[in-house]
Structure 1
Amino acid sequence: MEGHTGSGVYYETVGSGDAVLCIAGLGGHASFWRPVAELLSARFRVISFDHPGVGSSAKVESQRIPLIAEAALEVLDAEGVRNAHTVGHSTGSLVAQTLALDHRARCRKIVLSGGWAKPDRRFRDLFVLRSLMLEKLGTRAYSAFARLSGYDARWYEQHVAAGPLQFEGEDQFDVQTVLRRIDMLLGYERSDELSFLEIESLILGARDDFIVPFYHSEDLARRIGNAMLVEAEGGHFFPQVNPEAFASQVAAFLDARST
């Protein structure tokens, strides 16, 4: 099922059972979660959404993590959900952290996938480079780099590398929105507050993640007291590379009795 909130946030729902809110990464599209959502839908009501200003959601000028968190709450309200398990990947993990810190009553368990507590120097350098590529080389080069750095080498070779890279023309996304979203990542950090979280948390990270290396997941697990760390594989986009493994790990964590 598809819908829009009163402010124009597009969302999708599938399945029935306990609500699971899935929050996508930098791209911000609900479609990122469709393979995982389909697998979880036999036991859960899975809700995902396009971030404000992205995809089928209404356009906005500002890009800030708290605004995405507000959009997530709007979606839950539109679906009549009082609280939900929250799964956030990459940028979505920052939104999940915000929801857990500022709206604890709306969160049951949380899953932080391919996430981080604070951007270090390498992280900043990588995203400054990505911004520069987008501004100087265009959308096709930016997208090509995102795929090369986001997927593990074997999956890239089998599923992405169909022919020579094409740099003519433009990909269909708004450059300024993406640049604002990168600035949003670099300007957000509440790492010192994470030790105060009292919420069951699953931290999923891939050892072969080039964009957000596994040590960021280890750092998150150290900071959040009631956290379980699980190692995955498949590069930064591991929920898409192996949705079966991802869905199985998430379902087992959500189904487990609270301690």
Structure 2
Amino acid sequence: MGRKARERATALALRRRLAAEGVVVRAARPGEGATVRQLVLPVDPEHPEMFDSLASMIDSGIGVTAAKGKAVHLVAENGRGELVAALSAISPFDWLQGTSEIKQPIKDALARSVVTVEALAVAPAARGMQLGQQLLKRAEELLRAEGCRLLIADFEPSRPHLARYYTRAGFSLLPEGQAMHVGLPGGVILPRESHTDCRTSWKALDAGITVEPGLMVQEHSQTPEPVPGGVLVGVLPSNWATAGLAP
């Protein structure tokens, strides 16, 4: 059996198992915040306040204003009505609003073009069913339909299996501690530093995003140096100001 035939057989077996389990991937509903919080808390148990915020967003039923950014909260529900997996992805407001190098209209446009996976978890009893991959795929479909162009996921290097996990999902990985650099109008290069002790992965949701060489003046040097890993170009389309991405 060739590789493609094996992949088709694996996918068919997965669909049959999901159908047998009655698993449905859907949007999280108000009132499910606490359950989602318990599912995703093991992702980062030392910072539960982040998951408190996600639970509040789900229970309020109020999403991010479309003009300001995007948010997706998905769950996988089995045939017994139990939530067995969850994903939350939100525009990276902390990064963008804490950046002084760019003006607010571009910050807002980036918030509508870039989303980060804040939490992705599967209950132990439901692992091996590729539910996380199903949640990622559905999130990508929804975000792409809304005009999002880039999906980012950070993870701890101490969990190396996640490198393989995100690679299998089509993400590109940056070396541990390496910042992601986004090319903006006017030749501006905006860095996004990895969180402490985290590794960054990213996936283009639009074919217009490419990685190109770039030069950048470092903080302690006036000599331009090559940007490590290159620059992500096309995160904002060339016509961003007239394509519904600007106020």
Pair in the same fold by TM > 0.5: no
Taking structure 2 as the reference length, the TM-score comes to 0.29
Greater helix fraction, Structure 1 or Structure 2: 1
Taking structure 1 as the reference length, the TM-score comes to 0.28
Greater strand fraction, Structure 1 or Structure 2: 2
